[in-house]
Structure 1
């Protein structure tokens, strides 16, 4: 587990394999034979976790979803069901991403094994959401999504485009699609906790100590807020991202 600054590349098997998770049958309608987990980054005071999770087929008990979550699906498929057993949204399968709203009343269901990267946010300062419905609580993201020039950002040194696809109820956790042409930045602290999946192109990220990371299509990485880094995009980069502003939180 990492709880300091430093850019992290996520691997499907964690750093040295996944750790079995104790399964409480009371939390499931159909318990899984096994679940496994690796946490790459955690901030318990903020309610943030980033990692990789794998589960055998199962269905969770119906109830409020425990946090806002950004998912990169690596294996299998899942769906969400409401209290009547009706599917919520389109679900997501390997190769897609998804965002789920904190507190929606649903049951997670999967017929086969699922493996996913995840970034979850459930702020202990925030009151539990009340009177939510499941409608609109699941957003499925396809890697074929593209941007238009109508989504050009203002006041950027190079052409950049951005589309917010999901925002949480607290207003501090966004999931979106972003692209840029050639980009070179100065060394400066990164303002957000961000998990990103590269969809197209490549990026070099250099930390203050000279550590250099190279990410290309299919790679998933996490930048903890406050990490000083330089961005170098040689030609083009398109990515999904989930960004959490740690300074914008409920009072507590």
Structure 2
């Protein structure tokens, strides 16, 4: 994939009016005709939105790893049908799941459904990631994690916590939940490609032009690696994240 943007900016994936490019994530992408991409990079990572009219879709081997966050309607995901303990996920608005590369999946929607996504495509030689789709737990047990470096902060050092819930080593994609006490960080290039879905609180992300983007609970945004971005939060923030370790 090549960059679909001429310069990195913050992208709102939950905005139905946001500009999207109809793009397939590969020949086997089951939503090729329904997928709109807001950003894609050289590391075969993409973010955007899917609008599906509904129905039932079965895939014997899902072709990539995808975090989805339902924005409208409802989606049922069945996995592990070949095992003695199949799993059925029923996802409503604001709920998230990871569809693993190589898993046999059945997706069903009784009415139109839409979701924001962050996906990563692995080389054909990469092994399957798993058998079961995984619902992202919005309230996991969190462990202390690194705070921003003191020299980047405009005030006290925050207390940060996180919990990784899925990791695709072949693409560097990690999905989990993070939270933090309030803090302010100066404008710096964002260090990773990151989808953020705010679960609690709000944050203001300011770009290099000085434009302030208020992101509140329920919002889903994507910030590409290298995008100049300042962070200001006056209250506790908790978010689902999908980040990619590999350089953009």
Alignment of 1:140 onto 2:140: no
CA distance in 1 between partners of 2:175 and 2:23 (Å): 29
Matches within 5 A, 1:1-252: 1-2=4-5, 4-15=7-18, 36-43=34-41, 45-74=42-71, 75-82=73-80, 84=82, 87-124=86-123, 127-130=125-128, 134=131, 137-143=132-138, 145=139, 147-148=141-142, 151-154=143-146, 157-170=157-170, 172-247=172-247
List runs of 5+ in structure 2 lacking aligned partners: 149-156
Rounded to whole Å, the distance in 2 between the matches of 1:70 and 1:59 is 19
- Shift of the alpha carbon at 1:58? 2.4
**Aligned residues of 2:98 and 2:134 also touching (Cα < 8 A):** yes
How far residue 133 of structure 1 moved from its aligned partner, in angstroms, is 5.4
d(CA) in 2 for partners of 1:20, 1:173 = 20
SS of 1:112's partner is: coil
The gaps in structure 1 that reach 5 residues or longer are none
Deviations 1:46-76 (A, max 9, x none): 2122111111222224321121111111221
Q: Is the 8 Å Cα contact of residues 126 and 170 (structure 2) preserved in structure 1?
A: no
1:175–1:41 Cα change, 3 Å:
same
Q: TM-score, normalised by structure 1?
A: 0.79
Residue correspondences, number: 233
| Cα deviation code 1:164-191 (max 9, x no counterpart) | 1111132711111111111111221111
Deviations 1:104-158 (A, max 9, x none): 233333333221001110034x62425x652xx3111244x1555xx12246521
For 2:153, the equivalent position in structure 1 comes to: none
Contact 1:3 1:42 in 2 (8 A): no
Q: 1:142 to 1:96 in 2, by over 3 A?
A: farther
1:222, distance to aligned residue in structure 2 (A): 0.4
Q: 1:4, CA displacement in angstroms?
A: 3.2
Q: CA deviation at 1:229?
A: 1.2
